[in-house]
Amino acid sequence: MNDQEIRKELDELKNQLTFFQDLGVEFLICPEKRAEASLSKEKMRESKNNDNPLLVNLEPVTGVTDNEEAEWDKLIHQIMVCRFCPLYKTRTKVVPGEGDRRARLMFVGEAPGRDEDLQGRPFVGRAGQLLTKIIQAMGLSRSQVYIANVIKCRPPENRTPKPEEIKACSPYLLKQIELIKPKVIVALGKVAVDFLLPGAKSMSEVRGNFGEFSGIPVMPTFHPSYLVRNEGNKEIKKMVWEDMKKVMKLLES
Ligand code: SF4
């Protein structure tokens, strides 16, 4: 690595640490330590179960079964060729979603933006970079969570999706949630909140309090693009971090 590349890496690291500081992150969890912690939890469970032969390990089996894999393949194919609403005419690429198909934590946003439409991946623009940093501040990586949107194709000029578009696209997100069975969902912004927690009032009223969708706790929080639009506002970042701390607590319980 040459000097210029090292400087670029250091600048990126500085930006990231400044963002964590603005969020109000008090400490960072090294991924190796998190792996060690879950390993020791596993050992504790094993030893408890060994002590009492009547106890069985009720942890869910990890990994996607062949059956689920086939369902995923079918679902992704349906999304990729979908023409159920007029948004197919203006999209560049469909953005089905990505991540761990057995993730315990799922993020649901509104719809792809320009960068997402070009790359076919969710949350890769500026707002996506902030979301990635938030996920990292939680001690996780993007590959350990699942990220999707209510709408799989970009509305022109990033306008809010119309109710009929949401209705046409909704079976896809519902199926994704059914297959993933996350322990917690984070709803990013009003469109996702309205979809998962119908009847919710304004974001300021619902934000930070768990709701429920099909028995799954849903944490409504601000969309990362709102953070981008209010870049200098540390209070908003802190609110989002408070919400994520609640999510982390639930995930660890
Ligand atoms: S937005 Fe959804 S329903 Fe509309 S064309 Fe795209 S995938 Fe199909």
Provide the token pair at 107: 């993020």
Query: Residue 242 falls within a domain, yes or no?
Result: yes
Residue 202 belongs to a domain with what CATH number?
3.40.470.10
Mean residue pLDDT across the chain: 87
Query: Residue 198 falls within a domain, yes or no?
Result: yes
Most ligand 1 atoms within 8 A of CB, residue of 78, 80, 82, 160 to mutate: 82
Q: Which of the four pLDDT bands, split at 50, 70 and 90, describes residue 60? A: very low
Query: Residue 185 falls within a domain, yes or no?
Result: yes
Q: What is the residue type of 48?
A: K
Report whether pLDDT(194) > 90: yes
Report whether pLDDT(144) > 80: yes
**pLDDT tens track for 13-53:** 777 777 777 776 766 655 555 555 555 555 544 444 444 33
Q: How many domains does the chain have?
A: 1
Per-residue DSSP letters for 68-134?
HHHHHHHHHHHHHT--SSGGGGT-SS----EE-TT-SEEEEES---HHHHHHT-SS-SHHHHHHHHH
**CB-neighbour burial class of residue 140 (10 A; exposed 0-12, middle 13-18, buried 19+):** buried
What are the helix and strand counts (H, E) for the chain? 10, 6
Which residues approach ligand 1 with their CB closer than 6 A? 79, 82-85, 87-88, 94, 151-153, 165, 168-169
Domain boundaries, position 227: 65-252
Query: Residue 50 falls within a domain, yes or no?
Result: no
Cα of 193 vs centre of ligand 1, distance in Å, is 19
Provide the token pair at 50: 């060994």
CA distance 159 to 165: 12
CB-based contact 208:242 (threshold 8 Å)? yes
- Closest listed residue to residue 97, CA positions, set 66, 65, 142: 142
Query: Residue 109 falls within a domain, yes or no?
Result: yes
Query: Residue 27 falls within a domain, yes or no?
Result: no
Cα of 133 vs centre of ligand 1, distance in Å, is 28
Query: Residue 173 falls within a domain, yes or no?
Result: yes
